[in-house]
Structure 1
Amino acid sequence: MAGNSFFILGSSSGLPQAERATSGYLLKTGTSLSLVDCGGGVVSSFLRRRLNPNDVDRVFISHTHSDHVCELSLFIQLFHVNKREKPLELYLPEEFIEPFKNWLNAVYMFPDKEQYKITFHPVTDKFEFKSDLFNLSAHQNTHLVKTKAIIEELKLPNKMQCFSYKFDVEGKKLLYSADIGSLDDIKPLVDGSGFVVVESTHIDLDDFIAYAKEQSATNFILTHLGTDEEIAALTEKTKAASLTNIQFAMDGMEVGL
């Protein structure tokens, strides 16, 4: 892996694909790794790249759909089996912290009894992470707003928290959309971003292609991809539009920063 880079561990949509893991990414800054989302197949994808789990210093989760978070407890089990000693920082949607602690207890991972310290940090809108390695800002989007009626009907505590993350690594900016309600969620965040990793499932693709034409200085990487047939059709659309600033994510792809 390059010096500073954004690495794709899983590029599948929420409909799992045999040849792709679901959502999972790594930000590499020097020797430090930050895991961004941890869906199905991400742990195996991580190990397949011969990466060291102990280099993961922190985890950022965008939202709690299974294809973005279902293997987080498995990653923590991997740390446990490897007898991890250094602390782990977990940055989770605020609404997810207590349920996830309860889940860890339910699967006998007991976070309060680990041999290393796990610190839980609540992520809310406009949350900022700042360090000597990189800065991050969280921006709540509308992906989960469509569930509001069900939440109210069932009187659930869900806060519909889903965050797009913008990274600044030594002045180089990358935007990870996570899942969004529409392209409008991230348009205010694109400016100044050299790379935009944007999901392809929940956006109007014709609108996206038109927008990508306008943003010719930005490199877009389409992720959260469906079947091979769907990808082929989308590839034809981008070719027909003569776009040169769109790539398609693949598990194992690395973007230098």
Structure 2
Amino acid sequence: MIRDKSKATSKTASNKAPAKPANRVIAVTRPSFRRERALIKRGVWPVAGCDEAGRGPLAGPVVAAAVVLDPDRVPKGLDDSKRLTAERREELFEEICATAAFSVAVASPARIDRDNILRASLWALARAVHALPEMPKHVFVDGRDKLATPCDCDAVIGGDGIVASIAAASIIAKVTRDRLMCALALDCPGYGFEQHKGYGVPEHLEALDRLGPSTHHRSFFAPVVAARLKHFPLPAEPDLFTVDAESEAAAASEAA
């Protein structure tokens, strides 16, 4: 009896366990100066990078920074500030300050309350660009939104992990804001600003519930609203029927 070899082979193959996928290594890329150099080759200079720190916290300002790196002295190890240790951020902060042109702008909690967090952040970023020693010819900004500047602007999503100038700006903004929050902790002890920098961690939420909002809290963020209502409840609205009855009784008394 002659068997169909093709069917036997197919059956045998179908009984085999599926092959395990090969182990993959995900490479974490570092920000590069490639985009800035491409503009320099076209005669476009200065080129700035912009980023902010502090959109998410319940307290404190948004701090924005703009940085123009020296093409011949780009600090090694630039990265998204969130991927760096506090010690490494401080080291790079000092190196950027010593080798680059930079500026910082702050949007206060009052401006955040008035404009909302997105508009306040964009305002601070644009202010930082205008505060540079020399107006750049081109700006790279982290995020989706372009800035209201007289120069060309490219918004780069995830830019602090891609563009060296943005990464440098993220470090300047983060270190500056962290230092500012430590100073605010001295002005408003008990909230732990020096530890959590105003973010809504459990320790901060507990202090907010216990102490109520400070002048440095953002009034319209939900946990702050809840704490304010607990410590400063709104007066009860008057009962209109009771008010009308009291008014009629008073009028009747005067008429008598």
TM > 0.5 fold call: no
More contact order relative to length (CA 8 Å, sep ≥ 6): 2
Instruction: Pick the structure with more strand per residue.
Output: 1
Instruction: Pick the structure with more helix per residue.
Output: 2
Q: Of the two, which has the highest radius of gyration?
A: 2
Superposition TM-score tier, normalisation by shorter sequence: under 0.3
